[in-house]
Amino acid sequence: MGDHEETGPKPMRFESILQAHVPKGREGKHKKIITQLLSDIGHLPEGSALKIPLVELPDSKENIRSALSRAGRQKNLDLATSSNEHHLFVWKNPPRDTSTDD
């Protein structure tokens, strides 16, 4: 072996914190808009959709759509989206009929 052999543990590269201070869940930068959208979706009559101007979104429609999809799955909501160059549309899919009439 050479003269530059390291002994002992290497110093930590990253800072450590107590686990009690570690953020839990996905309460990131989209929480406010996603909470508002989920609330509005909860008020939608069946067969209606939210029409959200893209200019009012705090991030790209792709990122908001992804965050909304994750939040919807957590709340067991079957959400659907569509968009055009000016708006993002969001609605609840109707419940699936799982009964079988033979």
> Which residues make Cβ contacts (< 8 Å) with residue 94, sequence separation at least 6?
46
- Give me Rg for the CA atoms of the chain: 23
pLDDT, position 37: 97
Ramachandran class of 32: left when φ > 0, alpha when ψ lies in -120 to 50, beta otherwise: alpha
DSSP state at residue 55:
G
> Any idea where the domains of the chain sit in the sequence?
28-92
Q: Quote the pTM value.
A: 0.68
pLDDT, position 42: 94
CATH topology of domain 28-92: Ribosomal Protein S8; Chain: A, domain 1 (3.30.1370)
Identify residue 13 by its one-letter amino acid code.
Answer: R
Kindly state the tokens that stand for 47.
Answer: 């067969």
- pLDDT tens for each residue of 11-66: 888 898 898 888 776 567 889 999 999 999 999 999 999 999 999 999 999 999 99
- pLDDT tens for each residue of 55-100: 999 999 999 999 999 999 999 999 999 999 999 999 999 877 666 6
